[in-house]
Structures are given as structure tokens and as C-alpha cells.
Structure 1
Amino acid sequence: MRVPVKLLGFGFWLFFLNCARCKECLREDITFEKTEPVENASYADGETVKVNCVAGYTGLYKLKCEKGEWKKSIEPPCARKKCSHPGDTPNGNFELKEGTEFVFGATVLYTCTKGYEMTSRINHRTCRAQGWDNAVPVCEVVKCPAISTDGEVTASGNTEEGSYVTSGSSNTAAKQKLCPVLSVENGFIYSHPSNKEKIFYSCNTGYKPFTGNWWDSVTCSKGSWSDEPRCIRKEECGALPSVHHGKLTLTLHDPETADVECDPGYMSTDRSIKCTNGRWEKPVCKEVRCDIPPNVENAVITSEPEELYLPESTVTYVCRNSYLMNEKRVFCQRGTSEKPPTCQETKCVANLTENMRSDEHQGSEVSVIPGQTITLSCVRSGSTLQGQREITCQSNGEWSSPFPKCIGQTTSCGPPPDVNDADTIELKKDEYKTRERVEYSCFNKYTLDLRPPFSRYLTCVQGEWRGNIRC
């Protein structure tokens, strides 16, 4: 006898285990925009989880798992992070490339006023997750180049920075200030006889230019070289490579690793790159685009078709007459469009009591489409219809008037109604008096839900069964 009892206990254990799993909430059902995936694939009933926004966005969703569904308790949606003022530059101005706010992804372009020139290499700043990148560009007054003279030419004024006047033999030309003589340790240089302002250099065996190429060049401008030519050992990591539509930043904990950050609208398959045997990996920031929006039956999009859709772009769907839509807009995110909406045919449903019937339809449940009208009447003698006798289904799925009721002197009820997965514990009678009640019991593997408004009883009240039963 012990073995069957153990098997029965094990069966009950498996049953309750499966029921517990039925109430789990899944990570894939969390579909908020611009959020990071939560840690676990599933969560038990009663567990709470915080859903954070992706880098560059602020907000927080706090969810609780209840009976296999996520319930929201906090819902500030993810919005682009705001940056402070990008900073003014003396003798210059800036303007936003797009939009009107200093938010994540926004770029400002700087220009100098007339009479000034930009000495900074980069003329823009972009709002990133950690704030503005780059430094505020610098505008300096336009200066004439410094000159040197020979014995037959004299110069008056500030010959280093300001304006100056030269005089002397017309056959003698003033010479521009020269850059210092260059030498490259562990390398060699070459300058073309007709162009002394540009020098090319390469490195000795076992060395390479710091820029990562096997040769490079520097240019003389206003008495200084554009860069310092350097030769490093081949196994060393030199300068970070350039990235189209993005930038690289060395990590603090590892000088041979750099983080990849692409411009808005671009995405890299690698979050970081490494330097291996003296060579940096080459990251690529690819433009992210969505294909044409998905087709939805019985719907149309309220904008002209395009070949490709940029990230964050949206389209709006509209259903044809007599159809309702669950969600109208679809967003393009990370190269894929969101799940498309659906257009459901609009219907009005009437659940008739046993004392009411429809003149046009049979059965206790009547379903019609918008524009159709049903005529209702009471079955039992002595009862009258309270409300409109004819009601029409509207385009929003609602009836044109409140649903009528049958009221009157009738006090008895017919047999109690059928309930899914349950039955009365006693045989049903053909007629019940007011205040008589019947008790229900669920079939095997089901239990009664006794939380309000549910109970185990239905009560006859003035010809109608009152109460709610659920297994």
C-alpha cells in the first residue's frame, strides 16, 4: 500500500509544481521601448523587478508578477537624457543640427564670427550618455603669418603675429616663417624638393609609426608641425583608429581595450575593441534602418511608403470601417519594426437571460456587426421589458442604448445555468423559488475561486440567477 501512496504524493507534487510554473512571468513579455533586458528569463508569482532604460535614456519601470502577468506600479517612460548648456565660445556661435533641446544624441555646430578663425580641430559637440563630448571650440582673431626677411627687405610692425608692412627690392620676396628641423628616432624622413612644407616618414625594422600605418606624414603650418612624428615598437598599441560615425574611448582599467560609441542612428556589433600584437581591431558603425512596415489586414498607413526607415521613425495605421485596432503606431528600433497592430472586426454581443429573447436570433448569446439592430422581448407572462426594445450595434462595439431588463411579478427561476468545469452538487430542478440557492463543485483538477465577487452558490432572485462561479 505504501508504493501507491508515494506515487500519488509524487503526482500531487508534480501537479502543484506545474501550477506554480503556470503563474510565472516571462522576460519576453516585457516590451517597453528603450529598456535593457532584465536578468532572469522568468519570475515567480509575487516577485518584483526593476526595468532600467538603455544608455542615454532616463526612466524606470517597476513591475510585479501577478498570476502570470506583469503589473506596473511605477511607469515613468524612458526619455532621452538631457545635457546641460554646451557652452558658449567667445567670438563665435553655435546652433543645434536637429531638434530644439539639448538631449541625448543632439549635436551642436560651432562657427566663428567674421574676423576670427577656429583653431580647434573639431567644430562640434554631441550630447552623450555621460554629457557633452569634445571641448568647446576656440575662435581666435585672424592673423597674418609671421615672416623672416633677408638683408634687402625691412619689415615694420609686429612681424610675429600682427599686421606688418614690407619694403625693399621688388625682386626679393618675403619668406614665411619656417618650421623647426625634424628628426625621427628609430625612423627616417623624406621631403620633396618642391614642397618642403610636407614631410613623409617611416620607421626602422621592428618599429612602426604611432598612428598605426606603416608610413605617415606631417605638415608645416604657421611655423609649427601638424603632429610629432613618432616610431614605436611593432608590438606596442599606438593611436586609436578612426571610426566613421562614432568614436573610441580607452577604458580606465585596461589600456589595450577601447569602448565603441556610435553616433545616433548607427550601431556597432562590438561594444569594445582590443589591441592584439600591436594592432587595434577595426570597429564599424553601421547605419540602422528598418524595411517597409509590416502588412496589416484591413488597415492602411497614413503616410507615403518609403524604401527605408530611420531609427525612431514611426508609422500610423488606421483600420477600415467596422474594425477596431489595439495599437495605432509602430516604431523602428535597432533595425527592426515593432510587432504590428491588428484590426479586429467590431461586434456587439448580447448575453440574454432565460426570461429574454431576440426576435431575430436564436440562443442566449447574440452577436451582430455595427449597423445591425436586434429586437428584444420578455418570455414569461407578467414580466415587462424595462428599456429600449430595439438596440443598434455602433461602430465602437457598444449598443446605442443601455441594455434592457425584464422585470415583473415572476419570482421563480428555471434550472440553474451551466458553468465551465463545474456542476451542481444536487440534481437540477425545473423550477426554483426566490431566495433558493444551488451549490456548485468543480471537476477534478479544478478548485473553486472563492475570492469576491465569486462564491460556491447561485441564488434565485425575482426570476433571475444571481452570483458568480469560477473554477
Structure 2
Amino acid sequence: MCMRYLGFVLLVWLPGVLNAPSAARPCGVPSLIEGYFVPEQDPEQESYSHGTVLTYSCNSGRKPAVEGWWATSKCQEGNWSPEPNCIDEDACISPDIPKAKYKKSQNGWYEEGDEIIITCDKGYEPKHQDATTICINGTWSSVPVCEKSAHACGEPPYFPHAVIIHQKYQEVFAAGSVVQYECEDGYTVEGADTKKSIFCVAGNWTEGPTCRSSTTSGSNDRNSRPIFDTVDRCGALPHVPHGVVVQQDRRFLRYQCNDYYTRVGLDTVVCYSDGSWSQLPVCEDAFCVLDPANVPSVVRPSGREYFKEGERKYVHCMWDYFSAGAHCIQGRMYFTRCCHYNDHYRGLCQESAAVE
């Protein structure tokens, strides 16, 4: 009797043991160069259990590789996250820029003077066309902002008796986006068709579906022409000096300006039902020319050179290990005074007036 009872207990207990999750892996003792943990680590400690949180700070001239002058790291399945690290106080951590992508640093931070160039998500564009930021003295220069593009569209409009199909919800739609509607059962758009697509063109959605009851007489149909037509109805593609067509759709054309030029106006062009094109973009000069004959007397450039709008470079000065910062702003060249290269990185060289 006792043996049978013991066997019953084992049958109840063993499945729980067999199905119990394995214990989470502990973490080894983390190393931290030029920093210290608070409180100090026990020198005899060999490992830390999963979930342990350590606090640390850094020696003078260094800082944690996260926001703030102190930081924490948590043991998660045998690894410390984020890994404790002290970096130079003039370095920068990765910036948080909503709706943007940029090349991430492999080690998680950026050195003094490093530059980031962002690419905004579809439907967004850099505010004031500023897409770069530079790490200076441990902080980023003006961080770019991605804002809704002037030629993007908002939420697709509502049409009675019509529903959007095969489309995930999103707040902003890039120019050229297509949304397809389907009429409810018993309703049609034209004839026996139950579906119709609308397009985002120049910040507006094209004409949407009018879903009518399938039993309604065709005499009630509207007698108006659509605002937009397919691009083949307008003939030859319009020419934009210093620009090229980078996308051609049935409903629109998208232009892009060549290097050293910037676009003014919308990049999307459509064909109207009267056979005319919408307003074309203009590609304006967006460069400066560094001419050796027209620079400060102490500057020694290697030759004539073109700078894109907003581009910064260093040019040699008459003294060894000295250079001047050259910056193209609105078609004019600006120069810093000649500084030792260390002073440039510390932001100690201010720009002077433009050189005509």
C-alpha cells in the first residue's frame, strides 16, 4: 500500500520536474576600463545571477556609453545589457531621430568630429533640407528632424459604401502611394467593377470611388471628367534643366535634381485631363566654387574645387599641421581661421565672413 502511494506521488511530481524551464544563465564578472561600479564589486565574486542590475560611473575625462553621468547594466541570459563601457567625454552616443535611418556605429558610439547623414522614412523629408549632424564636444550639432513631406498625403479619405483593402494603417503616405478601395456587396463603381485605386499626387489624393447600388440606373452617373489623367495623354515628358525623371508611373512622374543642384517645388508632376502638365520643379544651383585665387592669403588649397551646399572640408594652410575649415552656405564660401587640427575638433575655430 505504501509503495503504491509513493509511486503515485512520483508520477505527479516528475512531469513538473521534466517540464520545468531551465535556470537562466548567470553572467560573468564584467570588466570596466577607466570606470567603477557602485557599490564596489566583491573581489571574490565570480558570477552574477540572471536579472542582476549593476550601477557604474566613469573616471574624469570619460563618461558612460549611454545618457547620463551614471548608468546601469542588467544580466540577461549570460550577457550584460547594455555592456558597461566608459568612452571619451568628447564622444557622442547614437542620437534618437524619429522617422529616420542612418548608419549605426559598430561600437555604439561616435568619435569627436564624426558625421551622421540621415534618410527620412517614406513620406517624410529633412526639415530645412538639413540631413547631417556632427559630433562636437560630446554632443551633436543641430540634430536633423524628419517632418511630413509637402507632397505626401495624410489618411485616405472616406467614401460611402467603400472600404480599403490590403492596406496596413499608416499616418503618412509618400507621393505615388496607391490605395485600393472595394465597394460593399450590392454596389459598383462603374458598370460591373467593384474596385478602384486612388493615388497620392502632389499632397492630394486623386478622385475616389462613388459606389452606387447595382440596381441604380446609369443615367444618374456623374458627367464630370477626372482632374488627373494618365501621363501618356500629355505627350512627351517635360524637360527640367539639371533634373532627370527617376520614376515614371501611369499617373505621375517624379524628378530628381543632379548633384550640386537643389529642387525648388514638388518633385511630382502629373498630367491634367486637359492635356497640360502640372507645375514643374526647378533645379537651382546648390554649390560653391573654391577658387585658389579668391581665398584668405594664409590658405593654400590644392586646386579649384566644387563644394555641395552645406558641405564642409578642411583645406591646408601655410603652416604644417594647420588647416582652415571651408563651408559652403547658400552659394558662398566661408572659412575659419587657420587652426591646429586639434582645435578644429574642439570647436575653437569660428567661421569668418564669406569670401566673395
With structure 2 as the length reference, what TM-score do the two structures score?
0.34
Higher-RCO chain (CA-CA 8 Å, sequence separation at least 6): 2
Based on CA coordinates, which of the two structures has the bigger radius of gyration?
Answer: 1
Q: Which has the higher helix share?
A: 2
